[in-house]
Structure 1
Amino acid sequence: MTEPAIQQAYEAAKALYAQHGIDTDEVLKKLETIKISMHCWQGDDVRGFLNRGQELTGGISVTGSYPGAARTPEELRADLEQAFALIPGKHKVNLHAIYADTDEQVELDKLEPKHYERWVAWAKEQGLGLDFNPTCFSHENSKDGFTLSHPDENIRRFWIDHCKASRQIGAYFGEQLGQTCVTNVWVPDGFKDNPVDRMSPRKRLKASLDEVFAEPIDPRYNLDAVESKLFGLGSEAYVVGSHEFYMGYGLQNDKLICLDAGHFHPTEVISNKLSSLALFTSGILLHVSRPMRWDSDHVVIMDDELLEIGRELVRHDLLGITHIGLDFFDASINRVAAWVVGTRNTIKALLRAMLEPVEALKQAELEGDYTTRLALTEEFKSYPFGAVWDYYCASKGVPVREQWIRQVKAYEQDVLVARG
């Protein structure tokens, strides 16, 4: 499609939406302000650089052996740059602690901001923000499935110190980059089979978290989040950090509550939780994933749940208090393409939600006119949001529609294949 054709299609779509009071120019200005936190671990299959060769644990499993996984921080950053070149807007990168870029041999509990200076310098050059996560898995001290709730005080101390160090690194990111860093705590603690004592591990986890968060940090630089899970590989019967645990802890201690799309019952969705949680919390963190079979972390597609997440955020004006991150890892396809597909889809879902006549739909519902509510909702499913999306991509200098695939394939042949 040529540039004039893109402009022409956009103008026609703009006129259609204007009939319902929707200003597409203003919608795109708002869309441009939304930052998606793209997870670094898709690029190297959650291996990191601190403990190369360490077996993945904590319920994490990556399948596939597509060529080209990043082996060094430089390769990972190059792959991220390629992905961002195909995604409209300026966004963030979400780092796990194991992605430290340092020549030192350093343990997780001894990490410091200096071990991420190269990441910060790169982010400044690229105009990106950084988010952070302590890595409480794939380590000798997590091999039995417990970290912050471990009965061994010495092991708990190791993980407490690691999480405290992570918050300082997050604050460093926020101060250096001028964009608030969200530091998210998730731990894999739990039992494979039915426990006798469900309370004691949760008491230990609460006490550990209290110590982790004891030091105040300027919220301009770092915001803390806590993430729950229903069950995991090796913790099928019981997870210490359940949704109820972290919802209570987050509300009581004013922490962001992280909702991961794959961390609930297979028939449960996070979109339906947003309007409830937003009434009681000052902020929400999303990990957008696709749980084809529970927490299988498939690449995000524009399915019904992704669209509902976008609608809930837009309809209830929650974008200002919600931090949107991605969390999937697929080694069966080109890893750069996985980033591009998932991130572009997440932005598209938000755009589609912004292009709905929300106020008219709310008014029809308030008046009991459910006929109009249904009819208008269905008709808007075929409105030309794609023309608006194409125009947005073109205006941001990124490929329109599937044109980006050629660039990924060329990058694969020129760069990824050579990695073996």
Structure 2
Amino acid sequence: MRRAIFGLPVSASDVERLPADTGPTDFVRLCGALIGKALADHIGSFTLPEISERITVPDGGVDGEYTTPDALSVPETGGLIGPGRTVFQFKYRDVGAADRKKILQGIVQKLRKEFPRVAPSCDRYVLFTNLELSGTQPRRLREALLESYPAFVNKPIVIRGAAEIALALNLTPHLRHLFFAQGGLCTLDFAQDELKAAYQKIGWPPLVDREQELAAIATFVNDEATRLLLVQGLRYVGKTRLVLEALRLFGARVVWASYPDTASVDLFRDLDSADAKIILVVDRCDPVSFRDVAERARERRGLKTIIVGLGPGPREVTKDTDLLPVAALDDQGARELLAAVAPGIPFMQQSWLVEAGGGFPGSLLHVGALFKESRLSPGRQPHDIQKRLGLLLEEQYLSALDPEPRRA
């Protein structure tokens, strides 16, 4: 995906020519974010849609599909959201892999084949494609749909090509930054996928014993008077996972910065000027970066900022910063998490593993994984446990790095 200079508009060509390696995923996420924004504007639902059925097609593209789970009671405006149930389909094609005329013909054939399957169950239909449509091309797509299922003739059909998608992005600055601007920003679902990938060999158990913390983050989001929240705790205590889970219902409003150096002054200014109630999450903040990010956040009028990290000393947290300390799990919570990772562990062995993990969810997940793989046993001494846990962490997170970053 082209990374534009910060603040500059994107063009239809930018949308159309997404790179072949990441374009399909980027396009589906981009469309999902636009749908999420529309749902937020019309019905106040900020949850990002979970788009399924991503099917790779022979001509260098991807097909995806999403149906609104409930029939909506909203007026028809000819946009993405309308009354009843809407089926969204996504047609990404690599414009460099085939002739444009051939690509369009392939989409027409696909629509004729697929539309009779989806049309009976919906009241509206929306098609997204990364192709820049011109002249009679939108009409040709519409005719292909109606020829395959004539009963849909009086129902809304909305077609969004590259030009319409670019316009929508330029009218929604935070989405334009997420998908096209320099800076390493991402959506909530992408941030979650990254964290899941880091724990791929270990598992993704349910969040345990964090009800109070989840409620505190929800209170911060819904409180019009608050602007800055610091989620503070030691490494492996589960801060990032906690924030991800807490913001699931607000996903369409979230801009996620995985590192503090991506949260520039320009980003804060632009997000603060957006009409939408944006939540900026800045992860992996140390005490030094906290000061810079917090200073920028405090100057905003509408933007909410959540800083995740070790945070500063207690004296540096001012009155205009809400503080949410995240502590290690108690004995019961640690046992519950271990039971989810490695079920069937006897009580005494659980006690040994809880002590080894120290109540930190990240450590407990690794300890549980080692136990499942029979790489730990209750007969080992604590220093041996720590050594093996360290080797696992090195294997999991450092093996792909170059020698110099690994030494650092």
TM, length-normalised to structure 2: 0.28
Q: Which has the larger radius of gyration?
A: 2
Higher relative contact order (CA 8 A, sep 6+): 1
TM, length-normalised to structure 1: 0.27
